[in-house]
Amino acid sequence: MTVFVAGATGAIGVRLVPMLVAAGHRVFGMTRAQGPRADALLDAGAIPVIADVFDADGLAKAVRATRPDVVIHQLTDLPTGLDPSQMDEAILRNARIRSEGTANLVAAAREAGVQRMVAQSVAWLYAPGTEPHGEDDPLDTAATGSRQVSVGGISALEQAVLSAQGMVGVVLRYGRIWGPGTGSDSPAGNSLPLHVDDAARAALLAIGDVPAGIYNIVEPNDSVSGDKAHRFLG
């Protein structure tokens, strides 16, 4: 298939692109500017696409030109190592990508006739309740502060992807990523740890004949269930 990866140079994207290429797919990787990141995409076997998710017209033109079967949304805007001193501002930027950026990406994909979109979400924003949480449990819409901002961004992302007409929408609610390029070298002290390669592999599996919907992508734990992903993604 032809796959367009938005967020191809992020922590998950750089692990995912080589997996897609190795599986025989034609891969277009989106990055915001020419330079080392675009060169790295070429080295990985992908075709760089220069576009900004907040430039709706330019994004639509870029997606349309590549004619992808699948769009994978791995866009985030977080500081290296999740630097606490930068997180308040980063949470706002990240929420904007998940709301405004996702809306632009969905519109571009629909205009280009994309058949399937796979999008990154998170698995730690469920409302308090009986555990382990399944995908049908509500998100924590009563949250306050920075958590409220994050819930709002995730809610907007998931609704946009899952309600897109004429396109299969798959949302992957990831645990907390660790491993190369994430700023965290160990799962120790990390609630809901998920290795970055497992996050990438889940996205690779999700471009196949997987039913639309939400999937928790988590390692075995007591608070969030990964049973649905095991059944449908293998």
Residue 149: closest CA among 75, 105, 87? 87
Going by pLDDT thresholds of 50, 70 and 90, the confidence category of residue 190 is: confident
Average pLDDT, the chain: 94
DSSP summary character for residue 180: T
* pLDDT single digits (tens) 17-53: 999 999 999 999 999 888 999 999 999 999 999 999 9
* pLDDT single digits (tens) 66-112: 999 999 999 998 655 566 666 677 789 999 999 999 999 999 999 99
* 8 A C-beta contact, residue 152 and residue 95: yes
Q: For residue 153, give the amino acid letter.
A: G
pTM of the full predicted structure? 0.95
* 8 A C-beta contact, residue 110 and residue 167: yes
Show Cβ contacts of residue 145 under 8 Å, excluding neighbours closer than 6 positions.
none
Other beta carbons within 10 Å of 198: 18
* 8 A C-beta contact, residue 169 and residue 211: no
User: Number of folded domains in the chain?
Assistant: 1
Domain with 98 in it = 2-233
CA angle 199, 204, 207 (to 5 degrees): 125
Helix axis angle for 87-96 and 145-162, nearest 10°, is 20
* pLDDT single digits (tens) 204-213: 999 999 999 9
**CATH no. for residue 64?**
3.40.50.720
- Residue-level pLDDT at 224: 98
Token pair 């928790």 is found at 216
